[in-house]
Structure 1
Amino acid sequence: MSLLQAILMGVIQGLTEFLPVSSSGHLALFQILFHANTDTGLLFSVLLHLGTLISIFVAFHKDVGRLIREGILLFIDIILNIITFFENLFLRKDLPYRRVICTAYRKFVMLILVSTIPTGIIGIVDSDLVEMSETILLIPGACLVITGILLLIADRLPDGHKTPKHVTYTNAFMVGICQGLATLPGLSRSGTTITACLASGFDRKFAVKYSFLMSIPAVLGAAILEIKDCFGAQGSELALSGGMITNYIVGMIVAAVIGYISIKTMLVIVRRKKFTGFAIYCILVGIVSVVGYFIA
C-alpha cells in the first residue's frame, strides 16, 4: 500500500466513522458495483480503528478520564460489597453496604455497559447476515434509505433534557439494540444511535457524546478480534517492511485527525438540526441502489 492510499483510507475512515453516511454501506456498494477488492489487510484495519478511538479519547478526554476512574472505583465497591455480603452471611455481622451508583459518571459507566450487552449479542448473532448483506445490492441500498429517514426524524424531534442522571437503563438498552442493528451495511451507526438517543429524550449534546463514547467497547472488541486473526493468519502481516509500517501509521494518524474534526462537526450538526443534507444524500444513493438491484 502506497502512502497516498494509506492517507486516503485514513480520511475515509475518519469521515465515515462519525458522519452519518454509513462507511459499511458505501464500501459494500463499491464492492458490488465494481467487483473491487477493498480489503486493506487486518493490521491496517486495526490501526484505522485505533485512529478513530484516539479521536474519541481526545475529543472527550475529560469524560473518558472520569469514566475510567469511576469505573475502577465502581468495580472496587462491588467487590467490597460482595465481601461484606459473605461476612454478614457467615460471620453473623450487620455491616452496611456501599452505595455503588453514587455519582453521575458511575451512572454513565453503567449505562454504557447496559448498551454494550445487546450490541454484543446482536453482533454475534447476525454476523452471518451482515456478511451476506454485503453481497446483495438491495440491502445496503434499502438501509441507506432508512438511514436518511432516521436523520430526517432526528432533525424534527423535540429537544430533550436527559443527562446521565435522568437516562434510564431501558433507554440505554434500546440504544444498544440500535447500535447492534447498525452493523447492517447502509445503516449509519452514528445516525442510528443519535436518533435513538434523541427519541429517548436525551439532551442533544449528550446524545452525540453518548453515541460516540458507547462505541468504544464495540470498537475495542472488534479490534481485539481482528488482532487475534492477524496473529493467527498464515503469512502474517507482521512481517512488513519499514516503509509499509510507516504508511500504516500515517493512515492511522490521518484517521485520528479527520475523526476528531468529524466529531466536532457532528456536535454542531446535531445542535443546529442540520441533518437534512446527509438525509437527502443517503436517500438518493439508497434509491438508486435499490432500483439498480431490480434492473440488474
Structure 2
Amino acid sequence: MSFLYIILLGLVQGILQFLPVSTSGHIVVLENLLGIDSYTGLPLAAFLYLGSLAAIIWGMKKDILRLLLEFCRIIYDILTNLRIYMDNRKTGRNNAYRRLIHNNYQKLVVLLLVTSIPTMILGFLSRELAGAWGSSLLFPAIGFLISGVVLLVVDFIKKGNKIPRDTGYDCAMWIGICQGLSVFPGVSRMGLTVSAGLLNGLSPSFAVRYSILASVPAILGAFFVEVPHLGQGNLTPGLFFAFLLGTVVAAVTGMLVMRWMLRIVQRAKLRIFAYYSFLIGIAVLAVYLVR
C-alpha cells in the first residue's frame, strides 16, 4: 500500500470529519479506486478515525475535561445515594438523596451516555454488513443519496433553540440510532446526527457541538472493535506503520481545519451539503455503472 495513498486518505479524513458529508463514503470510494480490499479498509478506517479523535480532543479539550469531571461527580453522587439508601434501611431514617443532575454539563453527560448505547449496539451488529457494503461502489453511492435527501429535508424545517437542560433523553436515543446507522459508507454520521438534533428542536450550534462530542465514544468503540481483527489479516510491520501514518495525517489535518470547518457548518445552509452529497452519489453511481 503506497504511503501517498495513505496520506491522501488521512487528508480526506481530517478535512471531511467535521462536515455533514460522509467521510467513510469518500474513504471507501477511494479505497475501491485504489484497489484496497475491505478487510484492510476497515482497520485502516478505525485508525484514521483515531486521528480524528485526537483532533476532537485537542479542539474541544475544555468541554471534554469538564464532562469527565461531571461524570466523576455523578458517580460519586450515585455511590453517596447508595450509602444513604443502606443507612436508611438500617436505621429506619428517611434522609434525602442527592440530585444526580445539577447543571447543563451533567445533563450533557447523561445524554451522551444514552446516545452511546444504540450507537454501540448497531455499530457492533452491523460491522460485517458494513464491510460488505464497502466492497462495492453501488452502496456508498446509495448512502450519499440518502444523506442528501435527509439534509435537504431538514434544511427546510424551522430551527429550535434547545440546550442540554431542555433536551429529552428520547432525542439522545434517536441521535444514537442515527449515529449507529452511519457505520454504512456513504451515510453521513454528522449529517444524520445533526439532522436528528435539529428535528428534535436543538439549536444549530448545540446540534453540531453535540454531534462532535457524541463521536468520541463512538470512535473509541469502533477502534477497540477493530483491534482484535488486526491479527487476522496480513498485518505486516509496514502496513501497521502505514496505519499509524494515516492516523497522524488525519490528526494534524483535523487540528488545523476543525474550527474553520465547524464555523462553515454552523453558518452554511444544510442544502449546500445535500447538493454536494447528490453530486458525489450520482458520480459514484456513474463510475459503478461504467466499470
TM-score by length of 1: 0.85
Taking the aligned partners of 1:195 and 1:25, their CA distance within structure 2 comes to 18
Query: Compared with structure 1, are the counterparts of its residues 137 and 160 closer, same or farther at alpha carbon in structure 2 (3 Å cutoff)?
Result: same
User: Identity across aligned pairs (percent)?
Assistant: 37
Preserved CA contact (<8 Å) 1:153 1:195: no
User: Number of residue pairs matched?
Assistant: 290
Q: Which residue does 1:278 correspond to in 2?
A: 273
Taking the aligned partners of 2:211 and 2:280, their CA distance within structure 1 comes to 24
Query: Compared with structure 1, are the counterparts of its residues 118 and 111 closer, same or farther at alpha carbon in structure 2 (3 Å cutoff)?
Result: same
Taking the aligned partners of 1:32 and 1:258, their CA distance within structure 2 comes to 23
Cα-to-partner distance string for 1:143-170 (whole Å, 9 max, x where unaligned): 1111112222343332321111111111
- List, as ranges, runs of 4+ consecutive aligned residues in structure 1 with deviation greater than 6 Å: none
Q: Which residue does 1:257 correspond to in 2?
A: 252
After TM superposition, give the deviation of residue 75 of structure 1 in Å: 0.9
1:28 and 2:25 matched: no
SS in structure 1 opposite 2:165? coil
Task: Letter of the 1:190 partner, please give it.
Answer: M
Taking the aligned partners of 1:141 and 1:233, their CA distance within structure 2 comes to 29
Taking the aligned partners of 1:207 and 1:135, their CA distance within structure 2 comes to 32
Q: Which residue does 1:15 correspond to in 2?
A: 15
Taking the aligned partners of 2:289 and 2:234, their CA distance within structure 1 comes to 41
Question: Which stretch shows the higher mean deviation, 208-217 or 15-24?
Answer: 15-24
Preserved CA contact (<8 Å) 1:138 1:289: yes
RMSD across aligned positions (CA): 2.8
Taking the aligned partners of 2:276 and 2:202, their CA distance within structure 1 comes to 26
Taking the aligned partners of 1:132 and 1:41, their CA distance within structure 2 comes to 10
Preserved CA contact (<8 Å) 2:25 2:185: yes
1:80 and 2:75 matched: no
Query: Compared with structure 1, are the counterparts of its residues 123 and 40 closer, same or farther at alpha carbon in structure 2 (3 Å cutoff)?
Result: closer
TM-score by length of 2: 0.87
Taking the aligned partners of 1:30 and 1:47, their CA distance within structure 2 comes to 16
Query: Compared with structure 1, are the counterparts of its residues 265 and 198 closer, same or farther at alpha carbon in structure 2 (3 Å cutoff)?
Result: farther
Q: Which residue does 1:193 correspond to in 2?
A: 193
Q: Which residue does 1:121 correspond to in 2?
A: 121
After TM superposition, give the deviation of residue 32 of structure 1 in Å: 4.8
Query: Compared with structure 1, are the counterparts of its residues 8 and 25 closer, same or farther at alpha carbon in structure 2 (3 Å cutoff)?
Result: closer
Question: Which stretch shows the higher mean deviation, 106-115 or 150-159?
Answer: 150-159
Task: Letter of the 2:252 partner, please give it.
Answer: V
Taking the aligned partners of 1:224 and 1:244, their CA distance within structure 2 comes to 16
SS in structure 2 opposite 1:214? helix
Q: Which residue does 2:155 correspond to in 1?
A: 155
Equivalent residue runs for 1:48-59 within 5 Å: 48-59=48-59
Taking the aligned partners of 2:93 and 2:116, their CA distance within structure 1 comes to 37
Task: Letter of the 2:254 partner, please give it.
Answer: G
Preserved CA contact (<8 Å) 1:160 1:202: yes
The runs of 5 or more residues in structure 2 that have no matched partner are: none
SS in structure 2 opposite 1:21? coil
Question: Which stretch shows the higher mean deviation, 60-69 or 19-28?
Answer: 19-28
SS in structure 1 opposite 2:164? coil
After TM superposition, give the deviation of residue 101 of structure 1 in Å: 0.7
After TM superposition, give the deviation of residue 187 of structure 1 in Å: 0.4
Task: Letter of the 1:196 partner, please give it.
Answer: A
After TM superposition, give the deviation of residue 291 of structure 1 in Å: 5.6
